[in-house]
Each structure stands twice: as C-alpha cells, then as structure tokens.
Copies of this chain bind each other. A is one copy, B any other.
Amino acid sequence: MFEKFQPRIPKEYEDTEFLFLANIQPTLQANVRRKMNGVRLTGCDTMNYWINGARAELAETLKLVDVLLINDTETKMLADEKNLPRAAQKVLAMGPQALVIKHGEYGATIFFREGAFGIGRHPFRAPTLPLDEVKDPTGAGDSFAGGFMGYVASQETLNREVLKRALFYGGVMGSFAVESFGTERLQSLTREEIDARFQIFRELTHLE
C-alpha cells in the first residue's frame, strides 16, 4: 500500500529549513526528509500503530529526526520501559537530539541528548492551561507541534533556550486548539492573543 503512495514535494518547499513530519507511515516520513536538502531541524510525530506495527521502519526514520514529539504512552511503548525518564533516554539513543513528551493536561517535558543544542544537565517542563472546558481535543497535538516548530522557525539561532520557549508556545497553541471545534479558534487567533497566553503560561510556572 505504501509503496504506491509517494508524497511529492512542491518545488517551492524544497528549501524549507524547518520540517515537521506529521504522523504517517515511517518510511514515507523518511523519504520526505531525504528529499529536503536545506533542512536545519526536523520534527517528527508518530503513534502506537507504527511503534508496534512498523518498528524497524520507525527506527530508520528516527535516525533522521532532530526532535521527536510524542506522548507518555508512546514513549514508554517505543522504549519498552515503564519509567518515563529512563524511557526518554532510550528513545534519545535511537537518534533524536531532543524528545518532547506531551503529558496532556499536565503539560510537556523536553529531554535533551547530552550536548545537543548546547550544554545543560536537565530536562525542561512547560505547563498547559488548566481549562474549565475542553470543547474538542482533536488537533491539540498537531497544534502543539505547529506552535513548537513555528517558534523555532521564527528564531535566528537554535539552542536549548529557544527549544524551551518553543515548548511553551506548543502548549499555548494546543490550549487554543481545544477551545473550539476543529480549527475554529486558530483561524480567528491574533498574535496579541498568543503573546497574552504565553504570559499566562509564564505566570503559571515562574517564581518571582
């Protein structure tokens, strides 16, 4: 089935510097990555279906990925390890320079491979907004990835501090996505609203 479908990259996308491989069969993800020669950072999503059913192909893809964005269950499944920090280290050993683990209503943690994106001893955690009402969780993960990748792409340099802020922006965009059905909320969103919510995320976690 997948041999017959080969994504075509439009000419004007070929020099893209920041690539996000959304969740699809891993070999297709790898093929897209290999066709893009100007990429500075590759983000990648996957899911239980590929982790269980296409593990060898996914392992090949992960060697081409800079930042993998998955959830707790997927991380533990991929690493075959129940302890999350240990699972994170095992996933990083498969290829990615950084691993973003999305915890749903508890936010997200980014783990770095030693020495990747600069020096630092620790992972980093960003919150989500405690929401009184989640209208539609569909697309929250993709909105998170969009916020993360979009912030990275907006920055001149690529270091841990940028990726930490990107983690905040991922949470911010995810929190907007679930407020309305489908893409409704995102379509009406202004830069000012995004900046204001980023400030709220700061207040949620930062001591004076």
**Which A residues are within 8 Å of any B CB, using their own CB?**
83-86, 88, 103, 105-107, 109, 111, 120-127, 130-134, 161, 164-165, 168, 200, 202-208
Contact = CB atoms under 8 A, between A and B. Distances in A.
A contact face: mostly helix, strand, loop, or mixed: mixed
A-B residue pairs, 9 tightest by C-beta: A106-B106, A85-B130, A205-B205, A125-B127, A85-B132, A122-B203, A86-B132, A125-B204, A125-B205
Nearest to A203: B122
B132 A83 contact: yes
Nearest to A128: B125
Contacts of A164: 207
Contact of A207 (B86, B120, B206, B208): B206
A205 B203 contact: no
A36 to B, nearest CB: 30
Contacts of A83: 131-134
A207 B126 CA distance: 9
Given A205-B125, A205-B206, A85 B161 contact: no
Nearest to A198: B207
Given A106-B107, A107-B106, A130-B109, A205 B124 contact: yes
